[in-house]
Amino acid sequence: MTKLYLTRHGETEWNEEGRMQGFGDSPLTELGENQAIWLKERMKDLHIDVIYSSPIGRAFNTAKIIRGDRDIPLICHDGLKEMSFGDWEGQDQETIKSMAKENHFNFWNVPSKYIPTGKGETFNEVKERSFKTINEILEKEKGKTILIVTHTITLKSYLTALENRDIDTLWEPPFIKQTSLTEINFTEDGYEIPLVACMEHHKYSKKEYNEGE
């Protein structure tokens, strides 16, 4: 059996400000670092053979926190990057909505009709990229336990492809909150998904944490 854990990076400054990140980046907030620590605590007794991460700082730094001082290889893979948002990167939601109301609506509601700007990607391109990348990792690390640290759309796109769903189902619940944990077990007979976007590890917080949106 090959066991795959998938998670999203911790909260960033741009997350807090409602800005689109994509290939762009901003630092983890104090909460974002704590979210990674909480997941580290949850996974500390789980065997992990290898960690793969998006090379974008917010994901890579989350991966480093989760690994801690454990002797686990940490490998960056460009195929795990977030969707490129082109000219929208660094812009806040309200600004984008005021400039491109219909396209902004399609982004969040009808992904198949979203039209990227600049060097941005379509949702289907990310779906194909994420599925190809993770399948290559699964083949290379067959029989092992793998942790992948990536981004919301990349993770959701992979699940959409794995379950052979239309791209317009991508934003259906559950939402992939920061450092939420998804588990998929692959066997010769197929796969099972015992956990999707699980947030139970936030109980490790020393203060009450409101997940928010």
Mean pLDDT to the nearest integer, 193-205: 84
**Domain regions of the chain by residue span:** 2-84+127-204
Active-site positions read 9, 82
Q: Residues with Cβ < 8 Å from 208, sequence gap 6 or more?
A: none
- Give percent above pLDDT 90 in the chain: 93
Separation of alpha carbons 116 and 29, rounded Å: 28
User: Topology of domain 2-84+127-204, per CATH?
Assistant: Rossmann fold (3.40.50)
Query: Which pLDDT belongs to residue 202?
Result: 80
Q: Specify whether the CB–CB gap between 191 and 185 falls below 8 A.
A: yes
Separation of alpha carbons 35 and 28, rounded Å: 10
b/e map 189-208, b = 16+ CB within 10 Å: eeeeeeeebbbebbeeeeee
Q: Specify whether the CB–CB gap between 5 and 148 falls below 8 A.
A: yes
Whole-structure pTM value:
0.94
pLDDT tens figures, 93-111: 999 999 999 999 999 999 9
pLDDT greater than 90 at residue 62: yes
Average pLDDT of the chain is 94
> pLDDT grade, residue 203 (50/70/90)?
low
Tokens of 61: 């730094």
> pLDDT grade, residue 206 (50/70/90)?
very low
pLDDT tens figures, 132-150: 999 999 999 999 999 999 9
pLDDT tens figures, 146-169: 999 999 999 999 999 999 999 999
Q: Residues with Cβ < 8 Å from 50, sequence gap 6 or more?
A: 72, 73, 75, 141, 144, 146, 147
In order, the DSSP letters of the chain are: -EEEEEEEPPPBHHHHHTB--TT----B-HHHHHHHHHHHHHHTTS--SEEEE-SSHHHHHHHHHHHTTS---EEE-GGGSPPP-GGGTT-BHHHHHHH-HHHHHHHHH-GGG----TT---HHHHHHHHHHHHHHHHHHTTTSEEEEEE-HHHHHHHHHHHTT--GGGTTPSSP--TT-EEEEEEETTEEEEEEEEE-GGGGG-SS------
